[in-house]
Amino acid sequence: MRTEKAMTDKWMETAKVLENREIAPGIFDLRLETEQIAAAARPGQFVSVYCDDASRILPRPISVCGAEGACLRLVYRTAGAGTKEFSRKQPGDTLRILGPLGNGYPLDAADGKTIVLTGGGIGIPPLLYAARALWERAKNGGAEGPARITAVLGYRGADLFLAEEFKAFGDVFVATEDGSAGTKGTILTCMEENGICPDMIFACGPAPMLRALQEKTARENTACWISLEERMACGVGACLSCVCGTKEEDDHSKVHNARVCREGPVFEAGAVII
């Protein structure tokens, strides 16, 4: 396994595939052996994964679903040629990855609070990593850590990937678009139906879901941190291809923009324009 320091606290590694299996239609659970990235990763961060095919120059950004020891876990959806290439990887194969990238969730902000993790679709995996990290902060009964962890997860149908794993860390509620499991409707419908009123929310998912949460939490004065999903090129803040609008002027560009890969992907909900 080859490793080189790419930039401050970020590494380019040739990581070995330990496991790569389909856990729902088009959803794959990939475990990689790394020397540096797994140890440095934090919930909410992502890695850039490079294709072997030289015609696919740009890496694919994938959120970190977990990290333990030298094992990095990525759960991804096959959406194009690049991720389909990844899905064919077998144990013993290698992948070039750069990371960890971006800023993660402010775990210490949840200390002593009731917190809800709201995920939609492929936005669910990074929240499983956050759930474990929050639970570990609180498991010894000390002052650090949330008072209560609840997950509210949104799916299209009954393929509830990762939902069972969340149960190790707190209560789990599910919403499905077709009503095949849990509440029929959105995660907001599920929260209202079950009387879920947290002190703080960590969220990741499609833009309509995040926009609805942004409006709800602003109205109810609830702290909320959201992870934005954007197409990226460099992944390190140099190309400005993944900027989003912000309420305040950005120190880097001196305009009302922020780089999702660099200042994000996690932002305070009221700070960005979705």
DSSP result, 13-74: EEEEEEEEEEEETTEEEEEEE-SSHHHH--TT-EEEEE-SSTT--S-EEEEEEEEETTEEEE
Q: pLDDT tens digits for 96-134? A: 999 999 999 999 999 999 999 999 999 999 999 999 999
Taking only the tens place, the pLDDT of each residue in 10-20 is 889 999 999 99
Residue with tokens 């419908």: 189
Token pair in block for residue 148: 């209560």
The pairing of strands 266-268 and 223-227 is antiparallel
- How many CB atoms are closer than 10 A to CB 196? 18
What's the rounded Cα separation, in Å, for the pair 64 and 100? 8
Question: Dihedral through CA 119, CA 28, CA 107, CA 40, nearest 10?
Answer: -160
* β-pair partners for 99: 11
Structure tokens at 273: 């324009």
Cβ atoms 212, 175 nearer than 8 A: no
Any bridge partners for residue 64, and if so which? 74
pLDDT number for residue 246:
80
Strands 272-273 and 243-246, how do they pair? antiparallel
Instruction: Provide the pLDDT for residue 257.
Output: 83
Residue 142 confidence (pLDDT):
59
**What pLDDT score does 251 carry?**
67
Q: Does residue 196 register a pLDDT over 90?
A: yes
Reported confidence tier of residue 254, pLDDT bands at 50, 70, 90: confident
Is the pLDDT confidence value at 8 over 60?
Answer: no
Q: Which domains does the chain have, with CATH numbers?
A: 2-101 (2.40.30.10), 107-226 (3.40.50.80), 228-274 (2.10.240.10)
pLDDT tens digits, residue range 36-80? 999 999 999 999 999 999 888 888 999 999 999 999 999 999 999
- Count CA atoms within 13 Å of residue 210 on its CB side: 25
Q: Is the pLDDT of residue 204 over 70?
A: yes
Answer whether 0.75 is exceeded by the pTM: yes
Kindly tell me the burial class for residue 75, based on how many C-beta atoms sit within 10 Å of its own C-beta (0-12, 13-18, 19 or more). buried
**33 CB burial (10 A radius; 0-12, 13-18, 19+):** middle
Percent of the chain with pLDDT over 90: 74
